[in-house]
Structure 1
Amino acid sequence: AESNKMASPGNFDREPSATRSTPDLYEHMSREDLIDRVQKLEAHVTQLRNIVLKHDGTHSGQKKQQRDFDFNKYNTRHVALKVAYLGWDYHGFVVQEDSDKTIESALFEALLKTRLIESRDTSNYHRCGRTDKGVSALGQVISIDLRTNLLTGVGVKVREGGTACSRPGDNTTEIRYVYILNKVLPPEIRVLAWAPVDPEFSARFSCKKRTYKYYFPKGNLDLQRMNEAATKLIGEHDFRNLCKMDVGNGVINFTRKILRADIVVLSQVENGYSMCELTVVGQAFLWHQIRCIVSVLFLIAQGKEDMSIVEELLNIEKNPRKPQYTMASELPLVLFDCEFGDDLEWIYEADWHEENIRHLQQMWAQYTIKSTVIKRMLEELDVAKVETESDIAPWNELSAPFLQQSDWLIPGNKSRIYKPLFKRQMCDSLEQRMKCLNKRRKLLGKEETEDNSEAS
């Protein structure tokens, strides 16, 4: 999926021995791999610094000790939770060693605080999608074993050696999971609904299709061209040229199936301010696949690339190497829905469903007010009288409308002269990456053998 890769020691090869020079190791690495290596090592240094700070108790202060809780008095229940979040200020969904600011960290902090789980390790946890830094979600789904009041029912697991049967109190009314979690979660993260599921259910492996949406202003984009190009993505293709290859983590199959890809205009506003929605539905996705797709579609919509570029990028036999290009911003990307067919039926708790709507309406109001303030500023600048060499006149009489609203979505410096994708420098092919990876592993293996020999 659009995954968030943790920069942790387990995510890259063992570092070279501190007492041994390894020029051969780096000679076999491409420029892209060297940059990636340096970034991971920098992240690792940050991780180690934070771990030391936490150990010293100076990172976030000492947390209040929770009272003892006897989990043996309760059974567990395998449930699915539907989670919405605004990920703009978070470092992705998945827990990271160098940051507490992830959606998953906040979720598990709430689950532990409310005593719905005893520990992550024993919670039978799965996530449907791994969203990157800055990416939001409406329909993220996790599956997990939670504490339950019930003795029997769908998903209920009788705790071995437990005393739930003899526990006094209500054993027929289920815990209000949405209510109890939203009470302690940050305002950007809301549990929308829950569902009891069979013990075999997995949010990751039981998902039948995932829907991503990407929001953007029309600006100077030709939406008809963009829509026509998007339809060429539908079907089963090798998307290695439309993602970030992750060979180091064992991903060597880049064939994925896209079921739908289209663009609609959500609000018709003149002068490029119309907001648009790209929808992409598939069974599963590769790392940064959506953002790479958006980047290429934007180039087509700006008239910089022909629509045939999509077919060229999908033709792996002809073009086995990905041209270098910048992927689109993460800010507008939303994991909109995860579908499971008839495997579950969501339970929305009425009072907290109303509270979630009220909460999101207030957040919408805050962001819309800011947007309106900026829009009014732009309108005033448009009619401001500007002095030229021959006259003074309102700006909108001197200049055609600027249509730059969507340009910032592809970050980085833009050259005055556009260079077509297939005239740019190419990334290493899959085969070259695998070859380099195998060489590095052999060198590291040889070095490890020599180190062990010296130690003995």
Structure 2
Amino acid sequence: MRVALKIAYVGTGYHGSQVQPDVGTIEGELFRALTELDIIEDPKNARYSSAGRTDTGVHAREQIIAFDTDKPNLAIPRVINSKLPNAIWVWAHAGVPDDFDPRRQATRRKYRYVMSGEQYDISRIRSASRILVGEHDFANFCTKEGDKSTIRTIERVDVRVSGTLTKIDLQANSFLWNMVRKIVTALTMVGSGVRDEKWLQQMLEPEFYEEGVECAPAYGLTLMEVIYPEPIEWCDDAYSIRRANEIFHEYTVRHSVMAEVMDHLLPKE
């Protein structure tokens, strides 16, 4: 039977989602859990696949993976979570067709970038973000991978303020390597007045204008959702979701306290 899972994780402390030798990754932890539970023998024989990779330090609310298993009764969130660290948890599962490929069959992906917005003109960022919507060549906004096409279609960019933070949501048919983080950098450059909308428009014409931009920090980026043309009948695991909320309440309290401690460590001017 082929099973799909929804995975969420805090990417801090991991060298991305894709398994790599000698470093900690999200897939490395997943493979260890799945094999220890005898749900799969190895990823290759199980035809393991994921909706995509996330880089070092990037998070996910809804990464999708799929694999074949003879023990679907064990391939459920609360069982798998018993073998996973607190930073990674499975929260939904579904039986899927034998030919289901979570990467190739995905039609849309949604990302969210969260950053401090106090130093930027949000109206400028919102105005500039509209230039990005539609089909464009994003060669100036990615780390190129061989001859892979750099043309993508951004369907929506939403920019909103939440207290002292700014949240930028992007939805596209797919994203290039580092595309979201480089777009965020470009938008903040416009928002701070370092660049203008004319420059951003030029950046979408790489055949005439070429310029590299740095990636925004990885810690602000989250893969929010992967969308498929045919609906999948997901079964959410209420216990796993409740347990994750408890763990993250502990994280939130700890980081709130640490933020206050850090403030006290600095002498006042």
What is aligned with 1:257?
153
CA contact (8 A) 2:90 2:240 kept: no
CA distance, structure 1, for counterparts of residue 175 and residue 213 of structure 2 = 19
What is aligned with 2:42?
119
Q: CA deviation at 1:327?
A: 2.0
Work out whether 1:357 is the aligned partner of 2:245: yes
Q: Superposed, which structure 2 residues align to 1:85-104 within 5 Å?
A: 85-97=9-21, 99-104=22-27
Letter of the 2:196 partner, please give it: D
What is aligned with 1:190?
89
CA distance, structure 2, for counterparts of residue 342 and residue 370 of structure 1 = 44
CA contact (8 A) 1:128 1:142 kept: yes
What is aligned with 1:299?
189
CA contact (8 A) 2:118 2:165 kept: no
Deviations 1:364-412 (A, max 9, x none): 222222223335667x83xxxx6xxxxxxxxxxxxxxxxxxxxxxxxxx
Work out whether 1:83 is the aligned partner of 2:23: no
CA distance, structure 2, for counterparts of residue 312 and residue 192 of structure 1 = 42
Superposed CA RMSD in Å reads 1.8
CA distance, structure 2, for counterparts of residue 258 and residue 142 of structure 1 = 24
Q: Superposed, which structure 2 residues align to 1:13-412 within 5 Å?
A: 77-97=1-21, 99-148=22-71, 174-175=73-74, 177-247=76-146, 250-251=147-148, 253-267=149-163, 274-319=164-209, 322-375=210-263, 381=268
Q: Give the match's secondary structure for 2:171.
A: strand
Q: TM-score scaled to structure 2, two decimals? A: 0.94
CA contact (8 A) 2:125 2:191 kept: yes
Q: TM-score scaled to structure 1, two decimals? A: 0.57
CA contact (8 A) 2:78 2:240 kept: yes
Q: CA deviation at 1:341?
A: 4.5
Deviations 1:183-210 (A, max 9, x none): 0101111111111111121110121211
More strand, by proportion = 2
Q: CA deviation at 1:147?
A: 3.0
CA distance, structure 2, for counterparts of residue 326 and residue 283 of structure 1 = 23
CA distance, structure 2, for counterparts of residue 318 and residue 119 of structure 1 = 47
Q: Percent identity?
A: 30
- Label 1:107 to 1:359 Cα distance change in 2 as closer, same or farther (>3 A): same
Q: CA deviation at 1:362?
A: 1.7
What is aligned with 1:74?
none
CA distance, structure 1, for counterparts of residue 57 and residue 231 of structure 2 = 30
From the CA coordinates, give the structure whose radius of gyration is larger: 1
Q: Give the match's secondary structure for 1:232.
A: helix
Q: CA deviation at 1:176?
A: 5.8
1 or 2 for the larger relative contact order (CA 8 Å, sep ≥6)? 2
